[in-house]
A and B are shown apart, each in its own frame.
Chain A
Amino acid sequence: PRNTDSYDYGRYHPINEIYDFQDMLVAENPNMVSKIVIGQSYEGRPLNVLKFSTGGTNRPAIWIDTGIHSREWVTQASGQWFAKKIVTDYGRDPTLTAILNKMDIFLEIVTNPDGYYYTHNNNRMWRKTRKPNPGSNCVGVDPNRNWDAGFGGPGASGRPCSETYHGPRANSESEVKSIVDFVKSHGNFKAFISIHSYSQMLLYPYGYTRTPVKDQAELHSLAKKAITDLASLYGTRYRYGSIISTIYQASGGTIDWTYNQGIKYSYTFELRDTGRYGFILPPSQIIPTAQETWLALMAIMDHTYKNPY
């Protein structure tokens, strides 16, 4: 495709096409979109973050990432659709326009690029990073168990061959460390949204402890609003609540760390499957999934914008 208008958002793309898409979007929208390389993956791929900004310096910001578990393809695909939606709707949708006139949005579409490349070329079922584990034949760490929040506790595995292996130490994976360093250096994130699939949930901290977060009531009611908006489009039903109370105990998770950094509106999505496809969601469901998810994202972003802290 020569531009992002003719790009096929209803298809799964290999990593080179996604990286080309990002560069096209930046080239087409020089006044709003820029690309920041926040680090390198273990195999040396750039960790690209798209910054959507209408000006100002170090404005309060919203982070969205997709694809931290590489086999969850509908998330990276939705990320590309979100990027195009933002540049299309700015100036047209009053809610998004108001948000972007005061806040920045950062979007990392391929958060685990080595894993994503591996799912296209070697093993479609790959979930983790690709860094070798010394002393083991098994490669990779679960990037959603590698964060410094209850690291190594229950709900993560110490076995390198496990799909939930937490790694040798917190932030051992460059894909995680790069985000940690970026969030710390930016210092003004107000919302952090990490997107997974496929069990249709909207979750807030904590995963590593049953101690409720201090903002539990607000996060719970905002989650309810977000998933109600989401369901309004195609009737897709979501569950919502804290990670530990809704699914299971999981330590070393992304949004437990971001919440502990003071980023109040920290959420994890689990997108579709409404049927029996699991990770192999048919591409015909990419755009409807992205559309409905966007409604929930807008609810969270709008609330963040209207409730500065």
Chain B
Amino acid sequence: KETFEGHQVLRIVPKDDVQLSLIKDLEDMIEFELDFWRGVTDAVTPVDIRVPFHSLQTVKIYLETQGIEYSTMIEDLQTMLDDEQEEMESAARVTQ
């Protein structure tokens, strides 16, 4: 089963078209193995990106050096998925 320890989801709010295109460039940096949950649309609409642990530092440095503001939407995806799984199992137990 694929797990996502240390994966974070960053919420990025581009300020202008320059930042938009810098974020779009990230899509082509295949080595980062980024997963765009919410794609680049226009300035002021958030872009959500799941970032694997091995790319986290590099991506955050990239965003910070470009002056692109971001927040951590999900601190650790696997923790959230474990909670979701536990909730499903307990709800199933209740049903049974």
Binding site for B on A (CB under 8 A): 1, 8, 11-12, 121-125, 159, 161, 163, 198-199, 246-248, 276-280, 282-283
State how many angstroms separate the Cβ of A157 from the closest Cβ of chain B. Answer: 9
State how many angstroms separate the Cβ of A106 from the closest Cβ of chain B. Answer: 28
Most chain A beta carbons < 10 A, residue from B35, B38, B74, B81: B38
* A163: chain B residues within 8 A (beta carbon): 35-36
State how many angstroms separate the Cβ of B31 from the closest Cβ of chain A. Answer: 12
List the 9 closest A-B pairs by CB distance, nearest first: A123-B2, A276-B73, A11-B91, A247-B41, A278-B37, A280-B80, A124-B81, A199-B38, A248-B41
Given contacts A11-B92, A280-B84, 16 further A-B contacts (CB under 8 A): A11-B95, A12-B88, A124-B2, A124-B4, A124-B84, A125-B4, A159-B30, A163-B36, A198-B38, A246-B41, A247-B41, A248-B39, A248-B41, A279-B37, A280-B74, A282-B87
B48 contacts A278, C-beta separation under 8 Å: yes
Binding site for A on B (CB under 8 A): 1-2, 4, 9, 11, 30, 35-41, 45, 48, 50, 73-74, 77, 80-81, 84, 87-88, 91-92, 95
B95 contacts A1, C-beta separation under 8 Å: yes
State how many angstroms separate the Cβ of A156 from the closest Cβ of chain B. Answer: 12
* B35: chain A residues within 8 A (beta carbon): 125, 163
B91 contacts A8, C-beta separation under 8 Å: yes
Cα(A256)–Cα(B9), bound, Å: 30
* B73: chain A residues within 8 A (beta carbon): 276, 278
Total A-B pairs in contact (CB under 8 Å)? 57
A278 contacts B9, C-beta separation under 8 Å: yes
State how many angstroms separate the Cβ of A152 from the closest Cβ of chain B. Answer: 18
A122 contacts B2, C-beta separation under 8 Å: yes
Cα(A12)–Cα(B30), bound, Å: 32
* B30: chain A residues within 8 A (beta carbon): 159, 161
| Partner among B40, B80, B92 whose Cβ is within 8 Å of the Cβ of A248 | B40
Cα(A11)–Cα(B88), bound, Å: 7
Cα(A199)–Cα(B4), bound, Å: 22
* B41: chain A residues within 8 A (beta carbon): 246-248
